[in-house]
Structure 1
Amino acid sequence: MEFNRQNLESSLKAGRKSRYLPFSLHIFESVCSTNQTLWDLLAQGAEAGSVVIATQQTAGRGQWGRQWVSPSGGLYLSVAIAPKIEATDSYQLTLASAWGVAWQLRKCGVSVGIKWPNDLVLNNRKLGGILTETKVNKGKITQAVIGVGINWTNPVPKTGINLESWQTSQHSSPISCLEMLTSKVLLGIESGIECLFQEGISILLPRYLDLLTNIGDQVYVNNLSGIVVGVTPQGNLRVDLETHDTNELIKPEIYVEPGTISLGYSKSSV
């Protein structure tokens, strides 16, 4: 699949109200991993705002060391930022990016939601995901790479969905081409990161929760049943444990770290 830089630059220019990130575009047909390629560029002197884009990854990375299957026809991109935030707040970068990308796509008419902590969902199936990697010095994040993968025309598993097939089912094409999708993702990352750093997590988090599909879900943590009620500013899932004590007015709440439990996907389309 051939990528048209001029179309991307035109789409970015048309939709961009902010210049918060100084995008410097590096476009490839195929890379091992856009995150790794961007880390390599940073080691060679590339600066914050650098972007690596590809339509195929041969060794894509997912959360917690998992492989991210990245066949041709998808959108895979990574953006470098220099956030200068506490290492303990690193998940805020993922929350910001997930909200920003989902919000940009929703503005176009694509009804994207967020599945905790970092998946983009459409019709209860996985449209894409986000992987944030960081470098830390003295407890502060000095560099971060935010990687986003979106299913465009590529084949997907039963729990996934690609944007082209969804648009066909809707008899509508709010996203007309890969370059437009790329611009929306980049603008989404920019708007999410700008919201986080200019307005703060207290503004960003409610926006993230508005698009979270897991509120009210029943989950099991260490064989205890609970209901998802929110997310903490550090990205942990807030779960109210179910209790059989009718005298207990306040249900005990626990915080579940990302990677501790899997919320899963239904294998049937909805």
Structure 2
Amino acid sequence: MDTRRALLDALVDGPVSGPALAEDLGVSRAAVWKAVESLREEGFAVESAGDGYVAPEDPGYSAAGIEFGLDVPYVIEYHDRVSSTNDRARELAAGGADGIAVVADEQTGSRGRLDREWVAPSGGVWLSFAIRPDAPPARAPLFTLAAAVATADACREAGVDAHIKWPNDVLVGGSASGTDTDADPTGRGGRKVAGILTEMEGEADRISWIVPGVGVNANIDAEALPAGAASLQEELGEPVDRRRFAATLLERFAALAGTPDRMDRILPAWRERASTLGRRVRVDTSNGAVTGTAVDVEPPGALVIETDEGIRRVHAGDCEHLRDTGD
């Protein structure tokens, strides 16, 4: 662990003296001072007190702010503005990097699935993982589902009752069970507050790298949102703590997909947070539309649909929640 990250971890427990930290880490006091100055330059305003260095009351939305108290090994690369966190994470992963989360306040060239436009102004949580997991390509969809679960959990911790529409849209409003049509008069399942875009490169037997990218409409004004979208700020009536939100998302993702032995937890966690199961759906696939009742999700993320012609398993497509058999 570098001196900067060690200093951040030490500050969580209260004031820490430079000499004590230097001794614990086996580095010079000058190295500790350099780490303090580096944090201050990032906007993490470390204060000097009589008993040592003290963390700021408001750590801020920055690399240091997100890493402060973070209980996962990810390194944060923060940008005030970037074309796309996915593009940057893909560049890092292709170059051999692993365990990096690229975070931006604003994206200028973001995109959604199928190259659809995704509005990503300042105030959102735009985050992409650059990871090189020990997993075969067949398990790649599980990382997308894990990112959706982590995002839904972060929304819920922030006070917004979010749920997942297969495979990876995080929604608010509507009816999670699909039975309350008054709560969801459109029958479409709710308004989109977050989405996931995953890109990867692999060999026959293993993933070379994978980049699950998460876009969350956090503190975005309603008028800046496209039709059918929502923001956390709009739902709460006040801004969300993006630093805490990002940290929760990172921690939940690591708990589900951080190591191969944890990945069996992903599908059960996804099922618990999904609003698609038990609902009538229409999924537009490359081979046409599949309409029926979504009854399960099977490894590595296929939606099981009970149709009039029998059971169908759909691995990819655009899913729409239907209100009744007439839709």
Q: Provide TM-score, normalisation by structure 1.
A: 0.80
Deviations 1:41-71 (A, max 9, x none): 33445x2111111121111122233232212
Q: Assess if the C-alpha contact under 8 Å between 1:105 and 1:184 holds in 2.
A: no
Pick one of 260, 264, 285 that aligns with 1:197.
260
Separation (CA, whole Å) in 2 of partners of 1:265 and 1:207: 24
Shift of 1:207: 1.6
Deviations 1:49-100 (A, max 9, x none): 1111112111112223323221222111111111122212210111112112
Deviations 1:150-209 (A, max 9, x none): 0012221231111111111xxxx6x74221222122222212213x722343x3212211
Partner of 2:123: 73
Partner of 1:163: 232
Q: Provide TM-score, normalisation by structure 2.
A: 0.67
Separation (CA, whole Å) in 1 of partners of 2:266 and 2:254: 13
Separation (CA, whole Å) in 2 of partners of 1:143 and 1:224: 32
Separation (CA, whole Å) in 1 of partners of 2:290 and 2:87: 39
Q: Assess if the C-alpha contact under 8 Å between 2:164 and 2:273 holds in 1.
A: yes
Separation (CA, whole Å) in 1 of partners of 2:277 and 2:233: 28
Shift of 1:265: 9.4
Separation (CA, whole Å) in 2 of partners of 1:199 and 1:26: 25
The alignment covers a number of residue pairs equal to: 241
Pick one of 81, 86, 102 that aligns with 2:152.
102
Q: Does 1:206 align with 2:268?
A: yes
Partner of 1:125: 191
Q: Does 1:242 align with 2:293?
A: no
Where does structure 1 differ by over 6 angstroms across 4 or more consecutive aligned residues?
none
Larger Rg: 2
Shift of 1:253: 0.8
Listed as ranges, the gaps of 5+ residues in structure 1 are 244-251
Partner of 2:20: none
Q: Does 1:62 align with 2:124?
A: no
Deviations 1:183-242 (A, max 9, x none): 122222212213x722343x3212211111112221246566411111111212110013
Deviations 1:26-47 (A, max 9, x none): 11111111011122233445x2
Separation (CA, whole Å) in 1 of partners of 2:88 and 2:145: 23
Deviations 1:100-147 (A, max 9, x none): 232343244331111110111111211101111111122321211111
Pick one of 133, 151, 165 that aligns with 1:83.
133
Separation (CA, whole Å) in 2 of partners of 1:163 and 1:89: 31
> What percentage of residue pairs aligned between the two structures are identical?
29
Separation (CA, whole Å) in 1 of partners of 2:263 and 2:65: 33
Q: Assess if the C-alpha contact under 8 Å between 1:119 and 1:128 holds in 2.
A: yes
